[in-house]
């Protein structure tokens, strides 16, 4: 198994089915985990030195943190309902709890915090929805925490790729401190497929091919992108969803397309 592919496991006592830490990934910024909570189960935690974005992937919950409380939030019962989720932003150094009001799946996204922002609800109406590309390169974006919205480090976005289409394409990278042309951002891809028995492909590679791995991604897998280009392909018959979490030294998303494939967007 490649070190860039993280597979889900059976839920632990906290419902955790997947966990990526800076230590396990070998990088400095992005943390990501997924919890599958049964109705009536409560997850409690502390943000510590890291800001968090709690994304209700599916189900309903009451969320409390940083002195705030949001009752009975969540409309989406499945990520493929294709409506924006409810999410909660939490700064570093606060406690939080998530009480599942239905069976639910929760993504916990984190990155270094600086205490510059208070806790807040990110409602579906706050999420910008756009379409990028055209033809078999089209995909649908739901921006949960873009760089235009306040946070210290985190960038969080959902992407729906129709069956047979490509995404994160043409291949692009963000691993060089060369603003305003390119920024350094670590990234995780949390993949879901519809129908769930499907698969997709993701390649992560650098110009010199010192890193070049292609992975068959199944439902619930997470791919780490420490550097390099990282395109994704969805086979015929299987719609692909992924949740991206990005963070780096500067909270700015500037990417460079692979020069060999730049012609695709210059036609």
- pLDDT tens sequence across 126-168: 999 999 999 999 999 999 999 999 999 999 999 999 999 999 9
Sheet strand arrangement including 31-37:
16-20, 31-37, 104-112, 50-58, 87-90, 120-122
The candidate with the shortest Cα–Cα distance to 253, out of 233, 225, 234, is 225
The whole-angstrom separation of Cα 249 and Cα 244 is 17
Residue 1 pLDDT level (bands cut at 50, 70, 90) = very low
First-to-final CA distance of the chain: 38
d(CA 144, CA 55): 9
What is the C-alpha separation between 184 and 175, in angstroms, rounded? 4
- Residue keyed to tokens 């033809």: 135
Q: Are strands 68-73 and 128-132 parallel, antiparallel or unpaired?
A: unpaired
Angstrom distances, CA of residue 36 to CA of 8, 92, 157, 208? 11, 23, 20, 39
Contacts of 174 (CB under 8 A, 6+ apart): 182, 183, 184, 185, 187, 246, 248, 253, 254, 255, 256
- pLDDT grade for 2, boundaries at 50, 70 and 90: low
- Mean pLDDT, the chain, rounded, equals 97
Residues 106, 17: contact at Cβ < 8 Å? no
Which residue carries 């199944």 as its tokens?
A: 218
Q: For the whole model, what pTM was predicted?
A: 0.96
User: Can you give the pLDDT at residue 267?
Assistant: 72
Quick: pLDDT tens for 70-122: 999 999 999 999 999 999 999 999 999 999 999 999 999 999 999 999 999 99
Rounded distance between C-alpha atoms, residue 90 and residue 11, angstroms: 24
| Residue whose C-alpha is closest to residue 52's, from 3, 105, 98, 4 | 98
Q: 133-137: list long-range contacts, CB under 8 Å, 24+ apart.
A: 133/169, 136/164, 136/165, 136/166, 137/165, 137/166, 137/169, 137/264
């Amino acid at each position: 198994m490649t070190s860039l592919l993280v597979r889900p496991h059976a839920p632990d006592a906290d419902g955790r089915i997947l966990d990526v830490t800076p230590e396990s990934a070998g990088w400095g910024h992005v943390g990501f985990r997924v919890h599958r909570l049964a109705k009536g189960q409560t997850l409690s935690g502390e943000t510590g030195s890291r800001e968090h974005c709690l994304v209700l992937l599916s189900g309903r919950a009451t969320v409390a943190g940083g002195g705030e409380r949001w009752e009975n939030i969540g409309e989406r019962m499945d990520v493929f309902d294709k409506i924006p989720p409810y999410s909660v932003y939490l700064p570093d150094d606060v406690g939080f709890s998530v009480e599942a009001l239905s069976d639910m799946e929760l993504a916990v996204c984190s990155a270094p915090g600086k205490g510059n922002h208070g806790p807040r609800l990110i409602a579906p109406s706050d999420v910008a929805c756009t379409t990028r590309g055209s033809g078999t390169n089209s995909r649908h974006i739901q921006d949960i925490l873009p760089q235009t919205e306040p946070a210290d480090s985190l960038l969080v976005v959902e992407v729906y790729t129709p069956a047979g289409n490509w995404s994160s394409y043409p291949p692009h990278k963000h691993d060089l401190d060369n603003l305003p042309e390119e920024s350094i951002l670590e990234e995780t891809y949390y993949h879901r497929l519809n129908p769930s028995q499907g698969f997709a492909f993701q390649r992560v590679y650098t110009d010199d091919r010192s890193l070049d791995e292609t992975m068959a991604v199944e439902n619930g897998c997470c791919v780490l992108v420490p550097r390099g280009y990282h395109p994704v392909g969805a086979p015929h018959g299987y719609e692909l969803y992924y949740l991206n979490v990005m963070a780096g030294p500067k909270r700015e998303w500037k990417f460079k397309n692979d020069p060999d494939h730049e012609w695709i967007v210059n036609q």
